[in-house]
Amino acid sequence: MNVSDATFDLLEAEFNAPSVRNPSAALPNRQWAEDAAAKQRAGVPPFPPGVVAARPAFDTKKMRELLDMNNFELRDSLYELFKNPVFVPRYNETLDEERARTIQRWRLIAKTGVFHEALRIFTVKGRQRYEATLESVGAIDHSLDIKMGVHYGLFGGTVSLMGDDDQGARWMPKIESCEMLGCFSMTELGHGSNVKGIQTTAVYDIPSRTFVVNTPCEEAQKYWIGGAFQSARWTALFAQLYVKGVCHGVHPFLVRIRNEDGTPVKGVTMGDCGAKSGLNGVDNGRIWFSNLHVPLDHLLRRHSQVSVDGNFTCNFKSSDERFGASLASLSGGRVSVAAGSLIQAKLGLTIAIRYGLSRKAFGPPGEEETRLMDYPGYQTRLIPPLATTFVMQLVLNHLKSKWQRRELGRELHVWSSGFKALISWHALSTLQETREACGGQGYKAENRIAPLKSTHDVALTYEGDNHILLQTVTKAVLPEFVRGFKNDGNFEGHFSYLNDREALRRVDLSTTDPRSAMYALTVMRRREAALFARLAAEIQKKIAAGMSSLQAFNHSAVLVEDAGRAHVDLLMLQLFHQTLSDLKSRGETELVNILTLCGALHTARLIDSQVIFLRNGALSAKDAQNVHSNVQIFCMQLRPHVLHLVDSFGYPPHLLAPIAFDYVSHNSRSRL
């Protein structure tokens, strides 16, 4: 018996839901998926009923490879594994059943060995394999990919990144094999986004050579800790480190919270966070500590060390630098949240667009009714978010590459914070639109969109509240703008485009191709420059009136967030057009043409939906009217390609829903 089997035998006994382990339990009606798969085996594309698709204008296989980046065979092998009845989606299960089913599914994934040596040494290939696995799992069970992500990514990632090489070699093999199941204890009841303010303490005791961990008040209880209530035996604990009476700020520790038989260790109390509006397969818990002794060598010491006799040393000159480095695992978490968000958006769009191509409503008297997707109003609801999803996926791929190469700096922090915020917001609005676009069928659980929306919702606040994340983006970028402003308008780095402000002002948008990089970047730069100039002046004005710099920043929060959003929107379009340029240089004309159209629609919809562009002089009223018209024009131009675009996401039929195929046969009386 291997380690994973031993661990999961214990877990399945603890997560006691006999109905889940009953092989004879009735499965939902999946004939629709079998019919679609039979068509594929016969060489017939499983298009929605009545849909005849022309030859694609681009190679869908190449598009999928561009989007997924790597590990295509691994992804497909996991999709094949998901045909196992254990993975068939169930709805209206009890809390115990959902948690037990998540463990059962995790066991099957772990037994494939996919995580072996994926994380212990932070390599590009290992990280790619890990991310490909979680992205694939997220397409079938979001609870499962979150629970696994907490263990491997947050817990394991903290040990790998924050522990030194000896600690990583000692613990990471056991984490990968699930011998050491863990969770990530940062959030407290009274502190979420403000990590510096957490109150859990770890006081170094010289005589015992241990850190004594305590929860000093009820607000300091660790809260929302995924896996803490039942499964985790260990945790990556973040606490205020005290040595010889001096607080050295928040540091990570590896802490045992349960014995192998599942009972809490002495000094640890745990409770259940209870049922949630989604992700109920994850056993979120609460943790209190009372004089828990943690061995000296369990301080994760890559950046800070405490000697036996109580001397504190740190590899960084400032506490802010050390604090930023200690949160590196959060950047990886935000990358995963952004990737998972796009998975949910892709699934919702694939299901809704296929339904819209088949479902009919109204039409000329005596003639066939019109397909939903042929109504301009329906197109403007679903095609813009489809275009944005392509743009954001290609942008996210740049961030994933940076993270995989372990480029842990300010740029990674800005990208991961900003992209996570905008991508998760986009996914939720997309799922809401796709739910409504499918009418009552979109509200039916078996059609997946409504449950996807419920499980995705929390992505807007975990791994950082989105509003706070945009503020941190501005906080990181504003000093660069102010330096250029104070240097007689000579800007460096990102804001160097302002060194020729007259050229930026002179661009005539009415004669510029709205599909071009010039058009998109001009409008985005004008907005960003105007907002950062206003913000710098506003903060300076408040400081002159007697406020501290912190107060001035906080009292400008709305403008701060607007500036952060403008910066991230610009970054995304810069990276997107960089991808188009790379594709052009490789001769991928077909991909460039369709993606250029996606980028144009994304840009037009972005501008059209926010009055802030007009308010800050990024374009004229006449230009704004042209943008509004272009939204419909670009939707009509993309309409013939929507089926092939969603097919390029690569999801097989059994990951979709009945309304994506022959929903009439599925709902027929003969299938009752």
Catalytic residue positions? 463
Do the beta carbons of residue 576 and residue 394 sit within 8 Å?
yes
| Exposed/middle/buried for residue 93 (C-beta within 10 Å: 0-12, 13-18, 19+) | middle
Identify the sign of the CA torsion 473, 475, 476, 477: positive
Q: Shortest CA distance to 264 belongs to which of 602, 547, 14?
A: 14
HSE at residue 638, side-chain half, CA atoms within 13 A, is 33
For every residue of 136-164, DSSP letters joined together read HHHTT-HHHHHHHIIIIIIIHHHHHHHS-
- Confirm whether residue 123 is marked as ligand binding: no
403 CA to centre of own chain: 14
Residues in the chain: 672
Q: Shortest CA distance to 12 belongs to which of 111, 80, 120?
A: 111
Q: Return d(Cα 535, Cα 559) in angstroms, integer.
A: 6
Do the beta carbons of residue 437 and residue 660 sit within 8 Å?
no
Q: Is 93 helix (H, G, I), strand (E, B) or coil?
A: coil
Which distant-in-sequence residues (6+ apart) come within 8 Å of 453 by Cβ?
Answer: 344, 348, 428, 431, 432, 435
Q: Return d(Cα 386, Cα 77) in angstroms, integer.
A: 26
One-letter amino acid of 126: G
For 27, 199, 203, 210, 214, the CA distances from 242, given in Å and listed in that order, are 55, 12, 5, 12, 12
239 token code pair = 């606490």
Which distant-in-sequence residues (6+ apart) come within 8 Å of 363 by Cβ?
Answer: 369, 370
Q: Return d(Cα 635, Cα 632) in angstroms, integer.
A: 5
Q: Return d(Cα 638, Cα 644) in angstroms, integer.
A: 10
| Exposed/middle/buried for residue 37 (C-beta within 10 Å: 0-12, 13-18, 19+) | middle
Q: Return d(Cα 495, Cα 481) in angstroms, integer.
A: 7
**Host H or E run for residue 364:** none
**Host H or E run for residue 293:** strand 292-295
Do the beta carbons of residue 242 and residue 61 sit within 8 Å?
no
- Confirm whether residue 262 is marked as ligand binding: no
Q: Shortest CA distance to 189 belongs to which of 286, 327, 292, 289?
A: 286
List residues forming the annotated binding site for FAD: 187, 226
List residues forming the annotated binding site: 187, 226
